[in-house]
Copies of this chain bind each other. A is one copy, B any other.
Amino acid sequence: MTTYNIALLAGDGIGPEVMKEAVKVLKLVEERNADVNFELNDVLFGAAAYFATGKAFPEETKAACDKADAILKGTIGLNHEDSKKIPVDEQPERGALLPLRRRYNTYANFRPVYLPKGLAHFSPLKESVVGEGIDIMLIRELVGGLYFGEKETGVDAEGRRYVREVLEYDEDQIRQIVRVGFEVSMKRKKIMHNIHKSNVLKSSVLWNEIVEEESKNFPEVEVVNILVDAAATYLCLKPTMFDVMVMENMFGDILSDQGGGILGSLGLMPSACKGPEKSYYEPSHGSAPDIAGKGIANPYSMIGSVALMLEMSFGMEKEAKNLWAAMQGVFEDGYSTSDLSKEGEANLVSTAEFGDLVCAKL
Contacts and interface: CB of A to CB of B under 8 A. Distances in A.
Contact of A163 (B200, B206, B254, B261): B206
A19 B207 CA distance: 34
Interface stretch (A91-99, A178-186, A291-299): A91-99
Contacts of A152: 202
B166 A165 contact: yes
Contact of A255 (B156, B232, B238): B232
A161 B171 contact: yes
A226 B359 CA distance: 36
Interface in A46-105: 77, 80, 83, 88, 91, 93-94, 98
Interface string A206-246: 10010000000000000001001110111111100000000
B258 A235 contact: yes
Interface of A: 77, 80, 83, 88, 91, 93-94, 98, 124-126, 129, 146-147, 149, 151-153, 156, 160-172, 197, 199-203, 205-206, 209, 225, 228-230, 232-238, 250-251, 253-258, 260-262, 264-266, 286
Contacts of A160: 170-172
Contact of A162 (B162, B171, B225, B251): B171
Closest 8 CB pairs of A and B: A236-B261, A229-B257, A93-B199, A162-B170, A232-B258, A233-B261, A151-B202, A164-B168
Contact of A124 (B126, B151, B203): B126
Given A153-B206, A236-B261, A250-B250, 18 more contacts: A77-B199, A91-B199, A124-B126, A124-B237, A147-B200, A152-B202, A153-B205, A161-B170, A161-B206, A162-B168, A163-B202, A164-B166, A197-B250, A229-B257, A230-B257, A233-B258, A233-B260, A237-B261
A163 B153 contact: no
Contacts of A235: 258, 261
B230 A286 contact: yes
B261 A124 contact: no
Contacts of A203: 163, 165
Interface centre among A147, A233, A266 (most CB of B within 10 A): A233
A94 B200 contact: yes
22 contacts: A94-B200, A124-B129, A125-B236, A147-B200, A152-B202, A153-B205, A160-B170, A160-B172, A163-B205, A163-B206, A165-B201, A166-B166, A166-B167, A229-B253, A229-B254, A229-B257, A232-B254, A232-B255, A232-B261, A237-B265, A251-B254, A254-B255
